[in-house]
Amino acid sequence: MKIASMMLALLFCSNYCSANEWVAYQGYQTQVVQTTNIQQQPIVVYQWVPVVVQQNIVVERRCFFMVNQRVVSQPSIQWIYQPVIIYR
């Protein structure tokens, strides 16, 4: 009986000593839900891709004993088989 009364006194004393630490309830708290967007992994596919290449062409003009040469660059399209990244 004596032990029970001492425990009860200790319980009331501990509540009284820690009363200054309590903070008053000020309202409702909302839970923040974080949304995450899951992105799919990119897919690597091999495709034929057009590429513009500058080709050098030599133009010659002959006149008697002379040769006149000019280098002209001309664009041309080449198709290259290369990997392409696709995002879906």
Beta-carbon neighbour count of residue 51 at 10 Å? 10
Highest mean pLDDT among 19-23, 40-44, 73-77: 73-77
Cβ-contact 69, 60 below 8 angstroms: yes
> In the prediction, which pLDDT does 25 show?
65
Element (H, E) at 56: strand 43-63
> In the prediction, which pLDDT does 34 show?
81
> In the prediction, which pLDDT does 28 show?
72
> In the prediction, which pLDDT does 24 show?
66
Q: Most distant CA pair in the chain: distance in Å?
A: 135
How confident is the model over 23-67, as pLDDT tens digits? 666 677 777 788 887 777 889 999 999 999 999 999 998 888 888
Beta-carbon neighbour count of residue 60 at 10 Å? 8
Q: Which residues of 65-78 are buried (b: 16+ CB within 10 A; e: fewer)?
A: eeeeeeeeeeeeee
Least confident of 3-7, 10-14, 67-71, 77-81: 10-14
> In the prediction, which pLDDT does 71 show?
92
Extents of the domains making up the chain = 43-88
